Structure 1
Amino acid sequence: MCVGVPMQVLRLESPFAVWCRDASGGEALIDIGLIAAPQPGDWLLTFLGAAREVIDEQTAAQIQSALAAVAAALDGEHDLDAHFADLINREPQLPEFLLPAKESAA
C-alpha cells in the first residue's frame, strides 16, 4: 500500500531539502525538489522521503486521523468513527470533475 504522510517543516537544510517532524515526533530529511520552497511551520504531504505537495494544517490533521484509524483497525479496534469525524453525518460528495456538466442558458 502506498501512503502519503503529513510532516511539518522544522528548518531548511538546503535549497533541495528540509527537516520535518511527523505526528509521532520523528524527524526526517525530506527532498523538496518537486514543490516550491516551503517555510518552517508549513505542512507537507510526503512519500518515500520526498514532498509531493504543500497542504494546510486541517488537511494534515485529517490525514493523520485516517492513518491512526488504519493503525487502530490493524490492532483490532472496530469503532473507528472518531477517526473520521469530518465524514460523520454528511452526504457523500462527488469531486467537481465528476459532477454532470451544467447546461448553459440559451
Structure 2
Amino acid sequence: MCLGLPMTIVETDGRLAVCEYGGQQRCVSVMLLSEPPVGSKVLVSIDTAVRLLDDDEARLIAQALDALHAILNGEDYDRLFADLIDHEPQLPNHLREPVRLR
C-alpha cells in the first residue's frame, strides 16, 4: 500500500520541486502537473506530485495521517476526526442509488 502525503511546494523549477510536510523536505517531480506555483499543496506519492490539493483537502489528509500515527502509538485520536463524531456517514453522490420515477 502506498500513502500520499499532502506537501507544500517551497521552491520549484517547473520540473522538480522542494516540498515540505511535517517539518521535513523532499525533492519531488512535478512533471505530472501544469507548473504549480510555490505555496501550492500537492499530493505526493513515491516522490512524484500526482495532483493539486486545496487547503481543506490537504488538512483532512494530514489529520488522517496524524490519526494513524496516534493509533499506532496508543494515543487518543478522536480530536482528529471531530467533524465525523455524532454524524452518520454519507455516501458520495455517485454511489447513491438513482431515484426511480414511477
Distance, in Å, in 1 between the alignment partners of 2:11 and 2:18 is: 5
- 1:84 — aligned with what? 81
1:104 deviation in Å? 6.2
Deviations 1:34-55 (A, max 9, x none): 2222111110011110011100
1:103 deviation in Å? 4.0
CA RMSD of aligned residues (A): 1.6
Distance, in Å, in 2 between the alignment partners of 1:36 and 1:96 is: 29
Consecutive unaligned residues in structure 2, runs of 5 or more: none
- 1:39 — aligned with what? 37
Which amino acid is the alignment partner of residue 68 of structure 2? V
Which amino acid is the alignment partner of residue 96 of structure 2? L
**Match status 1:3 vs 2:3:** yes
**Match status 1:57 vs 2:55:** yes
1:60 deviation in Å? 0.9
- 1:26 — aligned with what? 24
The alignment's TM-score, normalised by the length of structure 1, stands at 0.86
SS across alignment from 1:82: helix
Aligned-pair identity (%):
34
**Match status 1:95 vs 2:92:** yes
**Number of aligned residues:** 102
Distance, in Å, in 1 between the alignment partners of 2:31 and 2:3 is: 19
1:74 deviation in Å? 1.0
Which amino acid is the alignment partner of residue 83 of structure 1? L
Deviations 1:12-32 (A, max 9, x none): 13x31111111x211111111
